[in-house]
Structure 1
Amino acid sequence: MELTAEDFFHDFRQEILAGAEANSAFQLTAFMEGVGNELVETGFVEGFEFCHYRAQRGMRVDGYWFDDEGGLDLFVADFECRQELASLTRTDVEAAFKRLTSFFEASLRKDLAKDLEVTSPEYGLARQIADRKGQLRRINLILVSERTLSDRLQSMPDGEVCGVPASYHIWDISRLFRQRSSRSHKEALDLDFEAMFGAGISCLPAHLGSDAYPSYLIVMPADVLATLYGKFGAQLLEQNVRCFLQARGKVNQGIRATIINEPSMFFAYNNGITATAQSVETKRGVEGLAITRIVDLQIVNGGQTTASLFHTKRRDEAKLNGIFVQMKLSVIDSEESDTVVPLISEYANTQNRVNAADFFSNSPFHVRMQDFSRRLWAPAQQGVQRETKWFYERARGQYADAQSKLTPAEQRRFKAENPKPQMFTKTDLAKFENVWDDHPKWVNLGAQKNFARYAARIGAEWKKSSDGFNEFYFKRIVARALIFRACEKLVSAQSWYNGGYRANIVAYTLAVISEIVRRQGKAIDYGRVWNAQGINGTFEQALADISKAVNEEIIRPPAGISNISEWCKRDACWTGLQGNLEKFEQLLSEEFNGDLLSAEDRASEAQSAKKTQKIDNGIEAQRRVLGIAADEWAKVRKVLSTRKLLSTKEAGILDIAMQMPAKIPTEKQCAVLIETIEKARLEGVLL
């Protein structure tokens, strides 16, 4: 049975109600944070900060995010928790955007901040808008609605607000439905080059034979590329490249120097760009073939080049006329994009080995975490008979895809075994982990930057030893998820909580507890949390007491800092909190400290889990090796030998594999064969 927009509306409404109840939050908060997270996951925005302000003077705002490139995303909600799906008219849209622009104008020109409470989120936003007056390059005005947009209004033209270029975006329930149900699980960019730039982009077909993917070689004008990046930003970048840029963060100085000093040599010096698309339209003219339209352009290698062109043009006022970038564009239809695009991205990024391997949703780390999530049953909670699972969505849309071909009865069973509140994504995972093991500012810097930080750290640890990422590690992730979400719920329910900065308070509360426990040489008993599928009253009280003290600290930033959320992104904020650890430690009860594990117990637990994982790795390696036929191993042997890529040891073990089942490789030999499979894969041999 195919889901309709009406069905989606009712399902989405139930998600919001359940989320609000689970987090002791207002329904509007749950709605905006749910949609905000959705847009962050798909790359439409870099981050989301909830901030609700509504004034009698016709002003309203419900969220925002400042990016590093002079951009501001401002959100306004159309939400009344309606019970039936209704229509959103042009009048409604224009009124909502008018309220949002009025808030922006009052903040920028009329000193709105002076009329607001200095510890409120709206004060911080209004002050930040005023303080960044000369730095704002563009503003995205985003209307989020629980209604469905009238067919008479599909889009609104770009414009200006107070002299700042402005784009208008409407995310109604139908658009959210289309995004969730699309195969690629993100909204595809539709770039009409003739409409945007007056002409198509010259190209040469580069595909031969009927089985080849259509591909083109393009000499892309740098100004066009910079303009596209300025308008669409991270939406142009394939997810792994986006994470890579978040990890790097800085303009490539070599690219910048060439643009400024030797623009005529840019094409010769630069490696160019690799990109993919779902479809293209071409037109043959006097000067040959030209691409006039590209649907879902995704840069899979060359994000640094693209971003550097844009930043150098803006910051250095460099002229990009006469600068061109070579682009290889492959057309991959949406049905195969999930498998083919990551491979293109991986191979195109081989010069950045750590960056290429660590960010992929199909990397061994993420695959292993997914395997645990599908296999491990969480203990039944008190009063409940049925055990459940924690569904790890390593690739966007897996949770929906897993249900797409099930009957209604099978769907009900799936949801009972894999409850939606127990589904978590890669960015959720990074958030749960980094507050305990890294600098908490990363969580406050937004989902993309935080995931990039986590991926780089875990990538390095995985290379040293993958045995630490075992069943206990997965159970610890779930325990940390339970603690994180319990803290969110507790903060929302506190009498002192004013509706703002919850994400900041939660991140620093858990970081403070982590630091205190670490300095004591002890550890949280995550096994107890996993077994109970929740935290006890002692832990809840600790979270309540520490979060109140953390809130009191962060809402008093040093002089000259007006936005508390921005303050929470700085190193100095965490340094200040660390300086008060003794005060925080006194708030923890003897019962809480008594529940902690000793360092010896924790080390013993981790060591035991590593040994078990090592055994599991050996069994898995043998299973994979025995599942490959002898003639396939012979093919690997022939290709790698011809190309002189085999060591004597590898050749000898392959000789054994070629004789299966007469001879069976040992566990250690199977581990070598698994590495040989990877080597063969890079040479184009797919097993």
Structure 2
Amino acid sequence: MSTDLDISEFRTSLIADINEARSGGSGGGSPVLPDFSENVFTDICTTWLSEVAFTENPEVCHFERSFGTRTARANGYGISDDEAVIDVYISCFDGTGELGSIPPEDIRRAGRQARTFIEKATGDLLGSLDPSHADYGMVERIREIADDAGRYRVLILTDSRCSLNAIDAEDIDGTPLSYEVVDIERLYRLVQAGLPRDEIVVDFTSYSDEGLRCLHAPEISQDYDAYLALIPGEILFQLYDRYGPRLLEKNVRSFLQARGKVNRGIRDTLRTRPDRFMAYNNGIVATVDEIEVRHDAETGARHITAVKGLQIVNGGQTTASIHRARRNDKVDLSTVYVPAKISLIEADRIEEMVPAISLYANSQNNIQMADFSANDPYHVEMSRLSSQIWCPGEQGRWFYERTRGEYEVEKTRTARTPAQIKKFNEKTPRQRKFDKVELAKFLLSWEQKPDKVSLGGQKCFAWFMQNHSETHSKGWQPDETYYRRAIAKAILYKQAVSITRKEAFPAYRAQVATYPSGLPALPA
């Protein structure tokens, strides 16, 4: 359990990272615009949140303008890979003094300002903006997909504590709008946990008075407890609509679209014979950290009333296909039921059992062993090399984050005092941290495959690992030369990204950074 000291130290480290980024990593620098620290804070936070699948494809861009008595404000936006969800970020950044609390009304005000921004961005705001400014690209992109988006979401970010856990959902011209308050404590939990499983708490009685009718499997193991249930298709749709990829974090793959034979079969069944879906589909396999079951001793009936830490470890294709059929094709799910095996697994067995469940339970599409990426020998060796190889001068090194949140865990573990935190930041600054997805972007950009980089983080990484398994022998591992060259490519890629930010391209900065690699290669 996190303590006030842990959260305070986390905030101190975060502010130090922001100050370093403001000064370009040199420890000095000229004065900056008042909103610049707020944007750096937004950039760091949304990067972390994208790493734990809380948001997708974040772009930081500040906008603020008054419209009569109303103010429209935003610090950036993110659009999901399937363009179903538009996230708008708005930050309430203090950055001074000790860890404190922010008044709930300040959070509500930020929510109203973000809502106003969405209303204006999806209206006629674009015509009043300068096409050469970055906010033009942000508004243009939001307006471009607004008609087809299924949901808006406002993420309110703050480096203070907040007692306001939620703001009531609304809608804009019939499109649902929800709010997520991410204060410093929640941000700390997300980063330290690496995966936001504890955030997914489902009260099934909010969908059905009794919850989910279930059968309790015999107690055959001390490692887990199992239940069998039927989940209505509409409930599964609403869960995925709310949590998106976070619901599938323990799944070995992302949604493969409707290209494969099996996915097309799911789509066609939902369209033409939804009443036969349960007969034709294998269902899903899920794990939970906690489960509440109501048992009627008189009738023997059991109902799952609530779960915490829900993860669909097998059946991601089924879940995403149901969501797409309901959202895009307006399929009636009233007769769709999905068989579900739900396992309550002991905490110390999760990392051992969940990958095995994903591997052995899946029979719909072939799974490449490279999908189990964090423990792939390639990534294990890259992590080892990053811990041993220092930059020229032996004063600092790069940090390869093999598992999510590893950088923050390492900082917390080794740097407890302000002096130790400063030393850690000097030797391993955040600018020299990179993860598996970033590594794929570095290397594929150099190999002149910008089309793959532009697919989006997860799809780019999946292609990289598949290609890696096909082009390297089974026992091949990176060596010191390979690692140093990878870092050289990282430096070039990060510099290209930095240039696109400084030039304030109005949109598609990620594509601008990678597509020069499509030009003919210069001599070595």
Partners of 1:282 and 1:223 lie apart in 2 by 21
Change (3 A) 1:88 1:250: farther
Instruction: Evaluate the alpha carbon distance shift between residue 181 and residue 316 of structure 1 in structure 2; reply closer, same or farther with a 3 A threshold.
Output: closer
- CA distance in 2 between counterparts of 1:308 and 1:247 reads 8
Is 1:91 the counterpart of 2:105? The answer is yes
Alignment of 1:617-628 (within 5 A): none
CA distance in 1, matches of 2:407, 2:60: 26
Given that 2:194 and 2:406 are in contact with CA atoms closer than 8 Å, whether structure 1 keeps it comes out as: no
Structure 2: runs of 5+ lacking an equivalent: none
- The residue aligned with 1:317 is 330
Q: Could you tell me how far 1:505 is from its partner in structure 2? A: 3.1
* Cα separation, 2, equivalents of 1:247 and 1:434: 26
Q: What secondary structure sits across from 2:520 in the alignment?
A: helix
Q: Secondary structure at the match of 2:293?
A: strand
Structure 2 counterparts to residues 501-650 of structure 1, below 5 A:
502-509=509-516, 511-512=517-518, 515-517=519-521, 520=522, 522=523, 597=524
Deviates more, 1:341-350 or 1:359-368: 341-350
Q: Is the 8 A contact 1:240 1:359 kept in 2?
A: no
Secondary structure of 2:254 counterpart: helix
CA distance in 2, matches of 1:356, 1:321: 37
**Change over 3 Å in CA distance of 1:184–1:393 after alignment to 2:** same
Counterpart amino acid of residue 481 in structure 2:
F
1:75 pairs with one of 89, 100, 122: 89
After superposition, the Cα gap between the structure-2 partners of 1:120 and 1:490, relative to the gap in structure 1 and judged at 3 Å, is closer
Aligned to 1:583: none
Q: SS of the residue aligned with 2:391? A: coil
Question: Aligned with 1:123: secondary structure?
Answer: helix
Output the TM-score relative to the length of structure 2.
0.87
Give the residue type in structure 2 aligned to 1:221.
P
In structure 2, what is the Cα distance between the partners aligned to 1:263 and 1:229? 19
Please tell me whether the aligned partners of residues 246 and 452 of structure 1 are also in contact (alpha carbons under 8 angstroms).
Answer: no
Larger CA deviation: 160-169 vs 76-85: 76-85
> What per-residue deviation string (whole Å, max 9, x for no partner) do you get for residues 104-160 of structure 1?
112223x111100123332233334444343121111111112221x2x22112121
Residues 61, 76 of structure 2: 8 Å contact kept? yes
Q: Equivalent residues in 2 for 1:226-305 (5 A)?
A: 226-243=237-254, 245=256, 252-285=263-296, 286=299, 288-305=301-318
Partner of residue 434, structure 2: 424
Residue in structure 1 matching 2:446, options 436, 449, 452 = 436
2:210 to 186, 199, 209: 199
Match of 1:550 in 2: none
Which of the pair is proportionally richer in helix? 1
Shift of 1:207: 4.7
Q: Distance in 2 between matches of 1:99 and 1:403?
A: 35
Aligned to 1:473: 482
Match of 2:398 in 1: 390
Instruction: Give the C-alpha shift of residue 90 in structure 1.
Output: 1.9
Compare relative contact order (CA 8 Å, sep 6+) and give the higher one, 1 or 2. Answer: 2
- Work out the CA distance in 1 between the residues paired with 2:265 and 2:180: 36
1:663-682 matches, within 5 Å, as none
Kindly state the Cα deviation for residue 35 of structure 1 after the two structures are TM-superposed. 0.8
**Corresponding residue for 1:7?**
9
Quote the sequence identity (%).
32
Partners of 1:485 and 1:233 lie apart in 2 by: 29
AA of the residue aligned to 1:398: E
> After superposition, where does 1:61-460 map in structure 2 within 5 Å?
61-67=74-80, 68-109=82-123, 111-149=124-162, 151=163, 153-182=164-193, 184=195, 187-209=198-220, 211-243=222-254, 245=256, 252-285=263-296, 286=299, 288-349=301-362, 352-380=365-393, 386-402=394-410, 405-406=413-414, 408=416, 418-460=428-470
Q: Is the 8 A contact 2:137 2:506 kept in 1?
A: no
Q: Would you say the 8 A contact 1:73–1:139 is kept in 2?
A: yes
CA RMSD of aligned residues (A): 3.0
Shift of 1:450: 2.5
**Larger Rg, first or second structure (1 or 2):** 1
CA gap 1:256/1:350 in 2 versus in 1, 3 angstroms? closer
CA contact (8 A) 1:73 1:141 kept: yes
| Larger mean Cα displacement after TM superposition, 180-189 or 273-282 | 180-189
Give the direction of change, closer, same or farther, for the CA distance of 1:407–1:4 in structure 2 (3 Å limit).
Answer: closer
2:259 and 2:397 map into 1 onto residues whose CA distance is: 35
Provide the secondary structure at the position in 1 that maps to 2:437: helix
Partner of 1:41: 51
1:174–1:351 Cα change, 3 Å: same
Is the 1:20–1:29 Cα contact (8 Å) retained in structure 2?
no
Give the Cα separation in 2 of the matches to 1:491 and 1:130: 23
CA distance in 1, matches of 2:416, 2:239: 43
Tell me the CA shift for residue 331 of structure 1: 1.6
Look up the SS of the partner of 1:361 in the other structure: coil
